[in-house]
């Protein structure tokens, strides 16, 4: 018997477990409907894919190269594999998705490149620790540092500022490293900073960005954007070999056209960020609550005892507790409403006051 589906759950409400619990937003859905007409060429040789790539070039004000893949693990792993060889190392924060949640795919797709971890407060890599890690060894027995990987917004819902990114840029130039950005929640970072996208990407030395569509409101799909186009050499072959070249590519690319038009993607990122801020302010009014991080993007982390977490679950709420001991992540989505926030906050209050 297949046990995988024993725990399938149906929800009676919108949850705060992850932004990938949400469905497809109207703009992405409408673009799929429009793209679903007639025959078009396959494997990305269609007008939707061209339009989506052009729209991204316009957004970033840059003549970048754009590829569309199915998910974030593939986007990160394939992007990283094009930046390094098997004897190199990738430096990242110890809470990075590429380290903790991709089942070794970055190492697998780069044929064994080692991921080296550094610490840093609030989920952000510390430039000091990073430099220490680069300089720790320079002999042939140590995997040669080659890439700095940064998550924007971070796994802890914080956002690197342009000045912080500049520090990494300087390190990258000093030690001849590339910069990869895991932007599964890049839209949320952008919404928080309210800056032109170029100010936190290629102008700060980012060579390749994995721009997330899924958590932002699409069905699926991430854009791999090479600002340093030399590094994208034969990237199309990497995608194909990894099973990431969609034959009906229009269904991966068309949603980007819908999301970039009138900056719908930004509207949804702003909305989910605002919901997180609202949740934070509601929670702050509760006696004895401990909020673990500065809320900048679309998540709020709180500390709950095991008993309180169980009681909250009994009230029908789902949330992740894998970051730190007793740390509960509450994640807002593009479709989270003020009523959802109030419902959750009042249940947390009830749990804590009992
Ligand atoms: C969700 C996420 C990804 C992508 O995950 P997939 O499940 O492979 O699509 C990558 N990085 C971060 C930080 C994420 O939160």
Predicted confidence (pLDDT) per residue in 223-282, tens digit: 999 999 999 999 999 999 999 999 999 999 999 999 999 999 999 999 999 999 999 999
Q: Which atom of ligand 1 is nearest to the CA of 96?
A: 13
Q: Which atom of ligand 1 is nearest to the CA of 220?
A: 9
Helical segments of 261-305, H only: 264-284
CA of 184 to the centre of ligand 1 (A): 6
DSSP 333: -
Report the percentage of the chain scoring pLDDT > 90: 94
Summarised one tens digit per residue, pLDDT across range 2-13 is: 777 778 888 999
100 CB burial (10 A radius; 0-12, 13-18, 19+): middle
Atom 15 of ligand 1: nearest residue by CA position: 184
344 CB burial (10 A radius; 0-12, 13-18, 19+): buried
pLDDT at 201: 98
**Alpha-carbon span 247 to 45, nearest angstrom:** 10
Residues enclosing ligand 1, CB less than 6 A? 71-73, 76, 97, 151, 155, 182, 184, 214-215
Domains belonging to the chain, first-starting first, are: 5-23+265-353 (3.90.1150.10), 26-263 (3.40.640.10)
Report the percentage of the chain scoring pLDDT > 70: 99
Selection from 173, 123, 113 nearest residue 150 by Cα: 123
**Alpha-carbon span 229 to 273, nearest angstrom:** 32
CA of 353 to the centre of ligand 1 (A): 35
**Alpha-carbon span 352 to 105, nearest angstrom:** 40
CA of 211 to the centre of ligand 1 (A): 10
**Alpha-carbon span 57 to 146, nearest angstrom:** 26
Distance between alpha carbon 210 and the CA centroid of its chain, in Å? 8
Q: Is 104 left (phi over 0), alpha (psi -120 to 50) or beta?
A: left
**Alpha-carbon span 30 to 189, nearest angstrom:** 25
- What tokens appear for 73 in the block? 């693990």
Higher-pLDDT residue of 82 and 288 is 82
CA of 104 to the centre of ligand 1 (A): 13
Summarised one tens digit per residue, pLDDT across range 177-192 is: 999 999 999 999 999 9
Residue 152 in contact with residue 210, Cβ under 8 Å?
Answer: no
Summarised one tens digit per residue, pLDDT across range 305-336 is: 999 999 999 999 999 987 655 689 999 999 99
pTM, full prediction: 0.97
**Alpha-carbon span 194 to 209, nearest angstrom:** 18
Question: Could you tell me the end-to-end alpha-carbon distance of the chain, in angstroms, rounded to an integer?
Answer: 41
CA of 20 to the centre of ligand 1 (A): 9
Atom 5 of ligand 1: nearest residue by CA position: 72
Atom 1 of ligand 1: nearest residue by CA position: 184
Summarised one tens digit per residue, pLDDT across range 143-190 is: 999 999 999 999 999 999 999 999 999 999 999 999 999 999 999 999
Q: Determine the average pLDDT of the residues in 72-99.
A: 97
- Band of residue 103 on the pLDDT scale cut at 50, 70, 90: very high
CA of 140 to the centre of ligand 1 (A): 33
For residue 52, give the 3-state DSSP assignment.
helix
pLDDT at 1: 66
Q: Which atom of ligand 1 is nearest to the CA of 71?
A: 9
pLDDT at 272: 98
Atom 4 of ligand 1: nearest residue by CA position: 72
């Amino acid at each position: 018997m297949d046990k995988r589906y024993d725990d399938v759950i149906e929800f009676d409400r919108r949850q705060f477990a992850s932004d990938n619990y949400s469905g497809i937003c109207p703009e992405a859905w409408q673009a799929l409907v429009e793209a679903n007409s007639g025959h078009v060429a396959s494997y990305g040789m269609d007008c939707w894919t061209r339009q989506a790539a052009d729209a991204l070039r316009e957004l970033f004000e840059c003549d970048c190269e754009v590829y569309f893949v199915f998910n974030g693990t593939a986007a990160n792993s394939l992007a990283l594999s094009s930046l390094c060889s098997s004897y190199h190392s990738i430096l990242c924060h110890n809470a990075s998705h590429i380290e903790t949640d991709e089942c070794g795919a970055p190492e697998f797709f780069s044929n064994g490149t080692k991921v080296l971890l550094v610490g840093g407060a609030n989920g952000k890599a510390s430039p000091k620790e990073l430099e220490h890690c680069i300089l720790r060894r320079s002999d042939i027995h140590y995997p040669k540092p080659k890439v700095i990987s940064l998550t924007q917004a971070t796994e802890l819902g914080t956002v690197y500022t342009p000045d912080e990114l500049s520090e990494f840029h300087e390190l990258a130039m000093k030690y001849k490293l590339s910069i990869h950005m895991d932007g599964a929640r890049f839209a949320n970072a952008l919404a928080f900073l309210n800056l032109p996208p170029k100010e936190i990407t290629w102008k700060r030395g980012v060579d390749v960005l994995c721009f997330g569509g899924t958590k932002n409101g699409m069905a699926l799909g991430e854009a791999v954007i090479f600002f340093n186009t030399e590094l994208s050499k034969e990237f199309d072959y990497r995608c194909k070999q990894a099973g990431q070249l969609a034959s009906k590519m229009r269904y991966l690319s068309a949603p980007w056209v819908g999301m970039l038009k009138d900056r719908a993607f930004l509207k949804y990122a702003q909305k989910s960020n605002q919901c997180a801020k609202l949740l934070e302010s509601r929670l702050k009014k509760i006696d004895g609550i401990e909020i673990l991080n500065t809320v900048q993007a679309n998540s709020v982390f709180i500390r709950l005892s095991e008993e309180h977490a169980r009681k909250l679950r009994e009230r029908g709420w789902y949330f992740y507790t894998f970051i730190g001991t007793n740390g509960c992540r509450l994640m807002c989505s593009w479709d989270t409403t003020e009523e959802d926030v109030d419902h959750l906050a009042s249940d947390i209050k009830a749990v804590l006051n009992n």
